[in-house]
Amino acid sequence: MRSYDRKYAIDHLDLTVEAGQCVAMLGPNGAGKTTTVEILEGYRRRDAGEVSVLGVDPANADKRWRQRIGIVLQEAHDLGDATVQEALRHFAHFYEHPRSADEATDLVGLTEQANQRIGSLSGGQRRRLDVALGVIGRPELLFLDEPTTGFDPEARHVFWGLINRLKADGVTILLTTHYLEEADALADRVVVIAKGRKVADTTPDELGGRDKDVVTVRWNDAGLEQSEETDTPTRTVQRLIEHFGGEVPGLEIVRMTLEQAYLNLVNREEGP
């Protein structure tokens, strides 16, 4: 629990992240995501409750514990005069068994910018460097706070490939994001927070009943768009195939998106 001026920013929030998972924490601005993450990182004190990260209370963590985590903050504007390699080599000295600067730059796709000054990097390149700094110490657990804010769609998909590489290496990831398609692409689980409370904790496919919700089947018939809502889309498609004697013109099966499920949930919790 954590409160400010007698108002709870976090209220009885129960969160478990299993080793090797990528968990996306979702919620509107002011929901308590940043406060939660900062408590888990050991940057902010809680008022009450129990917290264990890698078996240690972050409020009393030592240097050895910090060696096991990586943090990518939402914004970073330091070391502008240093080169990419210089920054990575500097931070590598803080860890017992770091990656080499060359390995880190290769991992995030910055090999060509290795000798470039940080202040001259593009926004996407700087974000990749932030991740390289976050993983230089070979963390078991990586915190990513809005990692692709400001990215164009192409850069975002490249970044997703990087995160999937880290997942494949067994890194546990706690991700906060406002991009619902990002959570859908990366997360094994999504946790939704509203008004400091956890209101959902499930897989992206199951959030808000996406896996069970009625779907819309659309098709064209004599040049006119037709549609039907059903909870048995396979049966509907089979009927249409029989009707058309084969391919169904303009066939679409539209399911609830993660964004729709998320908005329905948050709007219900936050009220009018």
| H or E segment and range at residue 54 | none
Domain that holds residue 240: 209-270
Claim to verify: residue 92 and residue 173 sit in the same structural domain:
yes
Same domain, 123 and 106: yes
Identify the pLDDT of residue 7: 60
User: Do 62 and 148 share a domain, yes or no?
Assistant: yes
Same domain, 14 and 119: yes
Q: Is the pLDDT of residue 3 over 70?
A: no
Are the CB atoms for 225 and 218 separated by under 8 Å?
Answer: yes
Residues 38 and 170 placed together within one structural domain of the fold: yes
Q: Judge whether residue 237 has pLDDT over 90.
A: yes
Q: pLDDT tens, 239-257?
A: 999 999 999 999 998 887 8
Mean pLDDT of 102-123: 91
CA distances from 18 to 30, 136, 171, 173, 266 (A): 26, 22, 11, 10, 25
**Structure tokens belonging to residue 139:** 């963390």
Q: Does one domain contain both 181 and 157?
A: yes
Question: Stretch 33-61: mean pLDDT, rounded?
Answer: 90
Domain boundary among 149, 174, 205: 205
Token code pair at residue 70: 């990586």
CA 243-247-250 angle, 5° bins:
95
Which CATH number does the domain housing residue 95 bear?
3.40.50.300
Tell me how many domains the chain contains: 2
Q: Look at residues 182, 205, 228 and tell me which one is the last residue of a structural domain.
A: 205
Q: Answer with the one of 189, 205, 221 that is the final residue of a domain.
A: 205
Q: Are residues 176 and 122 in the same domain?
A: yes
Strand ranges, E, within 27-92:
69-72
Give pTM, 2 decimals: 0.81
Label residue 4 by pLDDT band (50, 70, 90). low
For 165-223, write each residue's pLDDT tens digit: 889 989 999 999 888 889 999 999 999 998 888 889 999 988 877 777 778 899 999 88
Q: Which helix (H) or strand (E) holds 191?
A: strand 189-194
Contact in structure between 131 and 69 (CB atoms under 8 Å): no
